[in-house]
Chain A
Amino acid sequence: MADPQSRYVIGVYALGVLGLIFAVVIVLGEALGGPGPRRVYWLVGGAGLGLILMVYGFILLLLRKLAIAGPRRAEAEDDLRGRWTKPVP
């Protein structure tokens, strides 16, 4: 996979699937959680919440790299095409 764009797209899809899994973890945590010994499930749900937020952050980063999001789209497109790393002839 030499093309960075396809790597980023696959990354977005993979992170999306992870996000769905963490959403299920959040729901399970709420369903099984309770006061006393069952509060560990509240923490499990909390872990799912923390992870899903981080996943969303990474998705935004990949969208930025894909030049779909972000204010400086031209810079992102240059980055994608490797213009910053190629030596100037």
Chain B
Amino acid sequence: MYRRVMTALLQATLRLDVAINRIYPTDLNPLYYTGGLTNLFLFILVVSGIFIFLYYVPSLAGAHASIVYLTDQVPYGGLIRGIHRYSGDAFFVAALLHLFRNWFTDRYLISRDSPWISGMFMLLFGGFVGITGYILVWDERGLAVLAILDRMLRSMPAIGGVLGDLLIGGTGVGEGTLPRILLLHVGPASLLYALLWWHYVRLRHPKVWPPATWVLMSLGLVILLAAVIPAVSGTPAAPGARPASIPLDVFFLFPLWLATIVPPFLVVLLIAVLFVLGFVIPYVSREPLQEMGVRHPGVAQVIDGNCTGCELCYYDCPYNAIIMVPSPYPGLSRAAASRKLLAVVLDSRCVECGICIGACPFEALELPGLLETEVMGRATEAIRVPEAARV
């Protein structure tokens, strides 16, 4: 059932690619740059966030007033605040598109589990950073978001009380609350870049940035939104006063909106189950390897005598599993005799795909369990015309 659904989703994704490729040139298809777009919006968030940080006062009396001052008095302050708001929304949308696309097209298998797992952590931290951003405005909606988040944390058994106290700096809102929320907003956002390093480390040629066309259009759209629908603050928060009924954004604050309808503990449980299932996806392959007829051909081996140091295997390996080192001795073949570099395979990174074998023009790489002579023999056998069919 899962495999049928995933196959259908893969086909739908590929059909969408084909449709978009009719409009844009293939190297400008925005669906190929969902990760790069997420990175772009993260960069815009950081730059606009630094500007806002310079004016923000993390105190109960000063927070709301500082944001209003930034919006009304600082030149283009309201615009930059809006850019921060809408690029946060765009970051989340792009991240979800990136997740769904890589899930439906099976880009999490074997050693791509590293980017998948780091991506799940980035989604979790990114969502949390977004929620704390709502709180920092310190209007009635921010206070409502804080109250719901506090209830969700405290609903967790055993550790709930501790987590709730850590969040707001005690049992109730006080002067220590907003500095903590600010730390929880800026800290995980900075951690996202460390997670981004983990995300890229096992990828070869990742598309970390969208093409110029999409950078301009995305940035332009965010700025236009910020100008046409300015971000505004509501009534200043009044802790201790009877909270008004505040409508919450159902899409971006979905877990908090859900926590106003069902018991908060169930929402926390749902989030935990979803993330555990998400982490498990790379290890629940669509077909067991035995059914695919895959045998392990062994980690690629460099035949030292033939390697010329041309670096073709180094550039072609999708898993960064080949490095070039200064050659300690000349090669045996004529082409390899004057080499400067020698290829070395990192066993821990090699997934035995054989791409390096195809890349090498000097027969300097082999898979020990699937030699080139065997592959040639099988290919010859496969294309041989049977005796009965010969004219």
Complex Cα distance A56/B218, Å? 11
Is there a chain B Cβ closer than 8 Å to A87's Cβ?
no
A57–B25 CB distance below 8 A: no
Interface residues in chain A, defined as those with a beta carbon under 8 Å from any beta carbon in chain B: 33, 35-36, 39, 42-47, 49-58, 60-61, 64-65, 70-72, 75-76, 79
The minimal Cβ–Cβ distance linking A66 to chain B, given in whole angstroms, is: 11
Is there a chain A Cβ closer than 8 Å to B159's Cβ?
no
- What chain A residues lie within 8 Å of B28 (beta carbons)? 61, 64, 70
Instruction: Tell me the nearest residue of chain B to A56, going by C-beta.
Output: B216
A49–B27 CB distance below 8 A: no
B223–A61 CB distance below 8 A: no
- Given contacts A50-B224, A50-B225, 13 further A-B pairs with CB under 8 A are A33-B75, A35-B73, A43-B228, A45-B76, A50-B222, A52-B220, A53-B217, A54-B221, A55-B220, A56-B220, A57-B213, A60-B213, A75-B25
B72–A35 CB distance below 8 A: yes
Instruction: Tell me the nearest residue of chain B to A79, going by C-beta.
Output: B25
B228–A47 CB distance below 8 A: yes
* Binary A-proximity of B213-245 (CB < 8 A = 1, otherwise 0): 111110111111111101000000000000000
Is there a chain A Cβ closer than 8 Å to B79's Cβ?
yes
- What chain A residues lie within 8 Å of B216 (beta carbons)? 53-54, 56-57, 60
- What chain B residues lie within 8 Å of A35 (beta carbons)? 72-75
Chain B's interface: helix, strand, loop or mixed, by majority?
A: helix
A72–B230 CB distance below 8 A: no
Per the 8 Å Cβ criterion, residues 44-94 of B in contact with A are 71-76, 78-79, 82
A70–B76 CB distance below 8 A: no
- What chain A residues lie within 8 Å of B73 (beta carbons)? 35-36
A50–B220 CB distance below 8 A: yes
- What chain B residues lie within 8 Å of A50 (beta carbons)? 219-227
Is there a chain A Cβ closer than 8 Å to B260's Cβ?
no
Is there a chain A Cβ closer than 8 Å to B26's Cβ?
yes
Complex Cα distance A58/B216, Å? 9
- What chain B residues lie within 8 Å of A58 (beta carbons)? 213, 217
B220–A53 CB distance below 8 A: yes
Please judge, given known A-B contacts A53-B216, A54-B224, A57-B213, whether A39 and B25 are in contact too, CB under 8 Å.
Answer: no
